[in-house]
């Protein structure tokens, strides 16, 4: 080639090579720690439960707490009131009351689940009372 035919190099106004950064290692450890923490909380909350049992002579509520502690309440079904206190569509509270004592149950449930428990318990109490009148 001759020097006469050489063209001047074009003027470059912008030149960049884009590549992702990989600071994955510190975040990977943090992700694993968060997942471990979430599983521990979930496992711990899995122990939390309430057992409601209506028999011929009483309604018993047995509560097992996060640390495994147990508490138990008994109500006479004839006088028991089941109240679902609703503030709005997403907020409610299920209360069992009898003889001046009251107990909030299902506080760890969602509003729809509490509505279902309240309906089921009211239905069971109605059947219990109907059996009494026969």
∠ CA 52-58-64, nearest 5°, is: 30
Task: Give me the mean pLDDT over the 3-7 stretch.
Answer: 67
Show me where the domains of the chain are located. 49-133
| Local structure of 71: helix, strand or coil | strand
pLDDT in tens, 91-115: 999 999 999 999 999 988 889 999 9
pLDDT in tens, 81-90: 999 999 887 8
Q: Given a cut of 90, is residue 7 above it in pLDDT? A: no
pLDDT at residue 97, as a whole number: 96
pLDDT at residue 90, as a whole number: 84
Ordered DSSP codes for 80-131: -EEEEEEEETTEEEEEEEETTEEEEE-TTS-HHHHHHHHHHHHHHHHHHHHH
Q: Which residue has the higher pLDDT, 73 or 13?
A: 73
State the pTM of this model.
0.66
pLDDT in tens, 32-64: 788 888 878 776 666 788 889 999 888 899 988
């Amino acid at each position: 080639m001759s020097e006469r035919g050489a063209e001047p190099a074009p003027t470059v106004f912008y030149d960049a090579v884009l590549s992702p950064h990989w600071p994955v290692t510190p975040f990977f450890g943090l992700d694993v720690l968060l997942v471990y923490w979430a599983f521990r909380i979930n496992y711990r909350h899995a122990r939390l439960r309430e057992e409601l049992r209506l028999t011929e002579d009483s309604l018993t509520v047995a509560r097992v707490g996060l640390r495994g502690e147990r508490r138990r309440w008994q109500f006479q079904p004839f006088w028991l009131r089941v109240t679902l206190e609703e503030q709005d569509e997403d907020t409610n509270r299920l209360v069992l009351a009898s003889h001046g004592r009251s107990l909030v149950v299902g506080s760890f449930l969602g509003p729809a689940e509490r509505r279902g428990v309240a309906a089921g318990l009211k239905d069971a109490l109605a059947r219990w009372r109907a059996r009494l009148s026969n």
